[in-house]
């Protein structure tokens, strides 16, 4: 009896344990039962006040001159050892070698992996996670690093407020193919199903980044997927990179979030999180709207020509004014002789008229100047 009671109790406890799985085991998605609006029920940090992505409102950013250009370390020294790329059911992840890192931050950060977020084509905009002034990109690349000066590895660092540094690169479509992206896209067909893995030839990771690494936004945020730890020092580059429409389409349509043995195939699409409230946070800009704008030689020429035209125009106006004043002085002198004190009011009016209405100079010239007074 006692034994049976204990057994039942144990069974019940087992049952409880199994029905309340650890947060890491919850298979989350972007829409549906464990979609992004439900994440915080299973992953409390997803309901925090410093979440990512955010909409960067440029008029509300603060210029911080101490934000120096970032230095990718070893991004181009990829060596011959292939990279590993895998489909984790949420995105394609490329593991990065630990000699790659980031300089230009308060600590040294070591690269861990990079991955992409995208949409589903069609008429709905979106695919990128961060937006700038409400404008979304078609896709977004994230290069993830951990603070290797303070923490021994990624799993320890990812829960610390100063643990991670992620580069965000907004991707939009253009006419031309971006050859750097083919280093990834060409191998997606080998990892169509979740949990599949492939070795891909090593390539220059810096070729995926924008040319201008000096202009970016910086803010404190989170992982954009569960468990949404608020441990990320974000760098969102101002310059967007371009890929072709065909390249985007490949990214959007080739992968499944379902596993190879799963009878219900689920396309891996719209794997981007909606922007989160900025709350108390400030997004800093490494550049100011005016001074940050480097003028191209064409713009410089335009400014020079503009200034020259302005000077010539000013000279013409000054010459005209001087001539008018001389003429008026002459007129005044004559009228005083003809008509001493009789009508000083009319004289004043006339002067104002001449100054305000330049054409009257020509008209008056045709007639002898004392004519208005001869009537009197
Ligand atoms: C990370 O470092 C911690 C602390 O040294 C250690 O306990 C843990 O096993 C490490 N994790 C991995 C994945 O290496
Ligand atoms: C991020 O948070 C840390 C610690 O609270 C703070 O020192 C730093 O200035 C913050 N950075 C930004 C960009 O807000």
> How far is Cα 308 from Cα 314, in angstroms, rounded to an integer?
10
**CA 101 to ligand 1 centroid distance, Å:** 19
Task: Determine which of 41-45, 239-243, 360-364 has the lowest per-residue pLDDT on average.
Answer: 360-364
> How far is Cα 255 from Cα 76, in angstroms, rounded to an integer?
28
Mean pLDDT on 94-108: 96
Q: Tens digits of per-residue pLDDT, 169-205?
A: 999 999 999 999 999 999 999 999 999 999 999 999 9
Angle at 319 between CA 317 and CA 321, to 5 degrees: 70
Atom 13 in ligand 2: which residue has the minimum CA distance? 219
* Contact status, residue 218 vs residue 67, Cβ threshold 8 Å: yes
**CA 129 to ligand 2 centroid distance, Å:** 21
Q: Tens digits of per-residue pLDDT, 40-89?
A: 999 999 999 999 999 999 999 999 999 999 999 999 988 889 999 999 99
Residue 225 Cα to chain centre, angstroms: 19
Q: Which tokens in the block code for residue 280?
A: 């108390």
Q: Which residues contact 131 (CB under 8 A, 6 or more apart)?
A: 53, 55, 56, 137, 275
| pLDDT score, position 123 | 72
Q: Is the CB of 284 under 6 A from ligand 2?
A: yes
* Contact status, residue 279 vs residue 50, Cβ threshold 8 Å: yes
Atom 2 in ligand 2: which residue has the minimum CA distance? 220
Q: Which residues contact 87 (CB under 8 A, 6 or more apart)?
A: 93, 191, 192, 193, 194, 195, 196, 197, 255, 256, 268
Q: Is the CB of 39 under 6 A from ligand 2?
A: no
- pTM for this model (two decimals): 0.75
Q: Tell me the pLDDT band of 271, cut-offs 50, 70 and 90.
A: very high
Question: Which residues are catalytically annotated?
Answer: 90
Phi, psi of 160 (to 5 degrees): -100, 145
* Contact status, residue 109 vs residue 101, Cβ threshold 8 Å: yes
Q: Is the CB of 218 under 6 A from ligand 2?
A: yes
Mean pLDDT on 252-258: 96
Q: Which tokens in the block code for residue 176?
A: 């031309």
Q: Which tokens in the block code for residue 277?
A: 């409230």
H or E segment at 276? none
Q: Is the dihedral of CA 22, 221, 134, 205 positive or negative?
A: negative
- Mean pLDDT across the chain: 83
Q: Could you tell me if residue 32 is left (phi over 0), alpha (psi between -120 and 50 degrees) or otherwise beta?
A: left
Q: Is the CB of 219 under 6 A from ligand 2?
A: yes
Share of the chain above pLDDT 70, in %: 72
| pLDDT score, position 365 | 42
Task: Determine which of 106-115, 119-128, 226-235, 315-324 has the lowest per-residue pLDDT on average.
Answer: 315-324
Q: Which atom of ligand 1 is nearest to the CA of 152?
A: 2
Task: Determine which of 29-33, 88-92, 215-219, 330-334 has the lowest per-residue pLDDT on average.
Answer: 330-334
**CA 165 to ligand 2 centroid distance, Å:** 12
| pLDDT score, position 197 | 98
Atom 10 in ligand 1: which residue has the minimum CA distance? 153
């Amino acid at each position: 009896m006692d034994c049976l009671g204990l057994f039942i109790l144990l069974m019940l406890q087992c049952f409880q344990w199994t029905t309340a799985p650890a947060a890491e085991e919850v298979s989350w998605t972007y829409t549906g039962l464990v979609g992004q609006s439900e994440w915080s029920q299973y992953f409390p940090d997803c309901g925090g006040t410093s979440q990512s992505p955010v909409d960067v409102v440029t008029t509300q950013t603060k210029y911080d001159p101490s934000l120096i250009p970032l230095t990718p370390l070893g991004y181009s020294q990829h060596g011959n050892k292939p990279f590993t790329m895998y489909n984790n059911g949420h995105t394609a992840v490329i593991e990065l070698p630990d000699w790659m890192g980031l300089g230009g931050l308060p600590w040294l950060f070591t690269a861990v992996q990079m991955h992409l977020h995208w949409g589903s084509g069609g008429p709905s905009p979106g695919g990128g996670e961060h937006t700038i002034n409400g404008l979304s990109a078609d896709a977004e690349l994230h290069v993830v690093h951990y603070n290797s000066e303070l923490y021994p590895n990624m799993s320890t660092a990812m829960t610390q407020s100063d643990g991670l540094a992620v580069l965000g690169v907004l991707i939009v479509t253009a006419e031309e193919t971006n050859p750097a992206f083919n280093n990834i896209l060409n191998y997606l067909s080998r990892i169509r199903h979740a949990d599949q893995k492939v070795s891909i030839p090593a390539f220059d990771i810096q070729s995926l980044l924008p040319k201008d690494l000096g202009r970016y936004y910086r803010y404190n945020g989170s992982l954009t997927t569960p468990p949404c730890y608020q441990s990320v020092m974000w760098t969102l580059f101002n310059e967007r990179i371009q890929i072709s429409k065909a390249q985007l389409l490949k990214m959007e349509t080739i992968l499944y979030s379902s596993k190879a043995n799963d009878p219900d195939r689920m396309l891996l699409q719209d794997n981007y999180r909606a922007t989160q409230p900025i709350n108390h946070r400030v997004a800093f800009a490494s550049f100011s709207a005016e001074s940050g704008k480097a003028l191209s030689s064409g713009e410089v020429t335009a400014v020079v020509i503009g200034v020259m035209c302005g000077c010539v125009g000013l000279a013409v106006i000054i010459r005209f004014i001087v001539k008018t004043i001389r003429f008026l002085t002459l007129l005044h002198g004559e009228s005083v002789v003809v008509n001493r004190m009789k009508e000083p009011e009319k004289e004043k009016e006339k002067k104002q008229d001449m100054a305000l209405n330049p054409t009257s100079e020509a008209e008056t010239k045709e007639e002898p100047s004392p004519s208005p007074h001869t009537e009197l």
